[in-house]
Structure 1
Amino acid sequence: MSRHKTTTISCHLVCLQHTHHPIALPDGETVIIGRAPLTKIIDPRCSRNQVSLTADWTKREVKLIQLGVNDSSVDGKDVGKDNELIVKSSSTIFLISGAFPHRINFKCTSKREDSASPSTPKATNKRSHNGDLENSHIKKKKLESSHETAKNGQKEKECKKKHEISLSLQDNDGDKSDDDVSEKMAQLTRLKNEALKEVPTSSGSKTKHSNRRSCSSPSSSQATEKSEWTSHDELQVFTSKGVTPHRKVAAFDMDGTIILTRSGKVFPTDQDDWKILHPNVFNKIKELHSKRYKIVFFTNQLGVAKGKTNIEELKVKIENIVEKLQVPVQVFVATHEGKYRKPCDGMWEKLCKSYNNSKEIDLKASFYVGDAAGRKKDWAPKKKKDFSCSDRLFASNVGVAFFTPEEFFLNEKPTNKFVMPHFDPRKLDCEENSVPSDTFASKKKEVAVLVGFPACGKSYFASHTLKPKGYKIVSRDELGSWQKCVQKAKHYLTESSVAVDNTNLSVEERAR
């Protein structure tokens, strides 16, 4: 008896958003992919016959031909109707440009089988009890082998018959063998690497196997092993698998910069109402990652605090966006007013102190891209004005170069048609005598509402400037709640003016 190894090759079209099971691509057979129950695509832009895929198992590649009217794309490059491209397993196929990402997955499976050795002597004519048993055993093995061959042949016929069925037929959801192949391969690779971290050598010592993504030491530069969310009260941070600390940071706003609403509305209608801004986004992000930039998104999501946005749905949306880009990304989400909300630099400070493994960020080599650039109406033909200049101010506060999405992704020339706030605190005279304290006191009773972040000098100003002028100080730090502050302020107003020494960052807080 001897053992021999057989290798089986398979090829599948794998959905990167995991909305449907992998679709088998037989060797040399053309498979039509499009809007159908099998792909679970219902977008009318996607034709029922959007692309044809013909796999070449020997070359490990797939020939793609666009059949539909609307463009399909590969790695952000539009294909064009009736045009063809050769797709490798490392490429990302978008059935519609910027939407429905898929990848080709080739898998080799090896199997060892027992078979009769060619050198096995033939049974002699001598009749013996042992000889009969041996001949019986050999006959049994041959019979089992014959059954196994017939069984495999039947399976191949059934498999081929299934592939000949049009993919527009009703999807029966497949079976358990259609699980995400790429995910399983990644899990197996991870388990293997963990098992081989320390391998004993012949001398009894241990050889350490380092991770390719590690730099000087695992504690400072090792890539994250899994995706995870971290909560910091008014800040949520998502770190996707593979994020590595770097000195160079490529930072982006999310809404209006990386994505747009698919519905065309200003605010998304649900967690699926989004699409990538432009196909160039994919190539640019991948290029930055290859140049060892850390990709970071900073996004304001005040709708969470107002109860208009469900935080769990927002998390799912962000995970899907990162998965679609196919590069490791870290996302900072400011859910309330305060120091984390742009243009304040709280999210950047959090990145520097807690999310870059103590690796100092090179501000000159880093940059930020955002659409809230303060541009005026008609800054370009038929263009609306920007809703604010918070992104431009954020970059200024952080100290990095700023670009708009049009400048960065589409290589458009910068425009000077933008406005900044008239008040620039950098131009203030910081000398103590620059504060005209004599003019601050009002002859009539008033409420002075101080606004500012903690430790910016509100309490000092209240106690050293307003209190000597007869103002009563109301502070949440002392009273414990804003309701008590309101009650105390009403009581004091019967006698004197009042200074409210709280942060009072939002319009709602100041209106109380």
Structure 2
Amino acid sequence: MHQQLFFDPLVMLPYTKVTKTFDTISNNVNTQIGLHDNKGYGEIIVPQYKQISNQFVMEKMKKKRCLLKSVHETHPHIEIFADNHTFVGRTRESQVADTLVSKKHLKVRADFDKKCVIFEILGLNPSTLNGVSLEKDKEHRAFHGDVIEIIPSKYPYKVHFELDEVKESEPSNKLERKRKRSTEEQAGTNLPSVKRMKWEIDVCLDLKQQAPGTPWESYNNGQLLVYTSPNCKPSEKIGAYDMDGTLIKTQSGKVFPTSVDDWKLAFGTVTTTLKSKHSNGFKMVILTNQAGVTSGKTKVPDIKKKIENIIKALGVPVQAFVATGDNCFRKPLTGMWQTLCDHKNGDVTVDTSQSYFVGDAAGRPENKAMKKKKDHSSVDRLMAMNLCLEFFTPEEHFMKASRQNWTKPEFDPKDFLSRSVQLINNPKMKIASVDLELIVMVGGPGTGKSRFCKDHLEGDSYEIVSRDVLGSWQKCVDRVNDCLKTRRKVVVDNTNGDRESRARYVNAAKKHKVPCRCFVMTTSFKHAEHNIAFRELTDTKHSKISKIVLNSYKKNFVEPSKDEGFSEIVHVNFVPTFKDEREKCLYEMYLLAS
């Protein structure tokens, strides 16, 4: 006789319950683990004989799992495996009956090492990833938190990777979490450590700027302003909103407000929607970029007054976060959200799976039929993607409009890190030469050329000549001549984006009758911008590089060719290195306001 014991695979039973359940289970026969019917429950079937260790049971329950979770919970979740493909479409198991969906619409498998699913579209109609239509018969990758729609605006599934094992102290539901917290507080024990985001920022309260009795706080020398309404209580569920273009629009109809009072609620359903969310346990939060404060276009008292008046009109308690400049708090960076989670939500841990963000900067293209201009940027959507938050445009949230396509940024950091990139495409090629030579580097700021020179050439007796050190190209040419004259290998670490600048060094090599190779960084312009943003966040020693410099290089760039006098042209790929996992976590975020 067998005893069947069931557990919800999405919310595992706590360890204490499991051990009590399995006190009399035998270890001397086969144990089977599988799925029970179509209910989505796990099933463990074991004969009742003698005792087995609790450790054995827990080992059987340890499992990596990948799921496509129905965003609106209208369809069963779909488990995805690594060793074989799962077909997603119009099937009895998926409960999708729409004839626009093919029976085998998607072919999907999981990559647990990279925490992504790899899928192809086999169906007649297109599918979307985070709102972007995808090409058929081509491999696509979706990472944890990404949303795949089987057909545009229908049947959204969120990619979900579970932890490898059941934690002893993991409560199975909200009631048990509250009981557990209460028990531990009464016993005087510390709560289990909360898993925070790997990339952390330093947040410092500006004590000198805090007026007594004010609901406003200032952080990091005014880079972040925070307003907290009376009766605004912590919650694990956060309903977060952008402000301009989302909650409000200008009364005058102009793009930018003409005064502090030039605003009105953007939709007639704003107040009723927020009140409904608040009554359902959501904490209402505003996350707004206001760079005009730093540039001097907006005065701090004016923005404070405006936000207070807006919150009064909303009719619910709200906590507002205002990023005043171009720093770690500005969207799409996650500084405002992290400050909320780490410092401004009491001792309540925010549950991102139950939270959401609404914003109008969603990367939507122009819609001539609807007479709508393209979005000014995609920072709201990208911040939500960085945080794995469910995202809505204002129209989707307040007007229940169908989901719209959007234009994905040219550079996707997660996708880049998921690919295996070799430094040199030809692995047999030797980077450094044993003979005397001159190397001319070609690459704009942020392409990784200086790091490449230091890591792969400086240690092989190459002298690095750089305009950043010497000050002018004339001094660089003089130093190259000196090196070649004294039989020293040399590499020119300048941008060298046009033929004229490269010719100066090719002529020097001809003068001394030594070969001259050209090493070209393959890093795209948008990738380079991402690298620059990352460097400015992680290394304060580097000075900021203006857009003017980047655009000038891009405008004047000419692809090098051997007819310029080079003996060889070598293409070098950018391969990042990180000090720790925190840096890697930051790098894979969208950092640019594209």
For normalisation by structure 1, the TM-score amounts to: 0.47
For normalisation by structure 2, the TM-score amounts to: 0.41
Asked which structure has the greater CA Rg, the reply is 1
